[in-house]
Amino acid sequence: MNSLPRHELTAQAATSGSIALGSATGQVGHVLAAVTAKEIALKSKNVAELADQVLPALTAAMLLLKQQDAAEADNFRSTVLVAVETATRPQKGGPSPVVADMTRKITAALDAA
C-alpha cells in the first residue's frame, strides 16, 4: 500500500491521467490540446453524479466519432483507456475492486456506441 496521503494519491492520478491525455495524437490530440480545464464543466458532488454526466458523454462522443471517422473513434477510445489505465495504475498489486469496476463502466460506455 502506498504511504502517501489520499489527496496526494488523487493528485498523482489526476496528473498521470492528464499527461496521458496530453499525449494524444491525431484529431483527438488536437482537440484535447485546445481545451482548457476552465472549459470543462463537471459539476457533481459525488461519484454517482459524475458518472451520470461523464459515461453518457463518452458514449455520445464515440457515436459521433464513429459516424464521422472510424479511425478517430478508435483513437479516442484508446486515448481514454490509456488515460484511465495511467491514472489508476496501482503502486503495488492490482487495482482495487472499486477502480476495476469503474474502469469496466468506462470501457462499457465507450463500447456502447
pLDDT above 70 for 1? no
pTM reported for the whole predicted model: 0.80
What tens digit of pLDDT does each residue of 59-97 get? Answer: 999 999 999 999 999 999 999 999 998 888 876 777 888
Share of the chain above pLDDT 90, in %: 40
Our CA angle for 40, 44, 63, nearest 5°, is 55
Which of 12 and 46 is assigned the larger pLDDT? 46
Q: Where are the alpha helices (DSSP H) in the chain?
A: 6-22, 26-34, 47-68, 70-88, 97-111
Q: What is the mean pLDDT of the chain?
A: 84
Question: Is 80 exceeded by the pLDDT of residue 5?
Answer: no
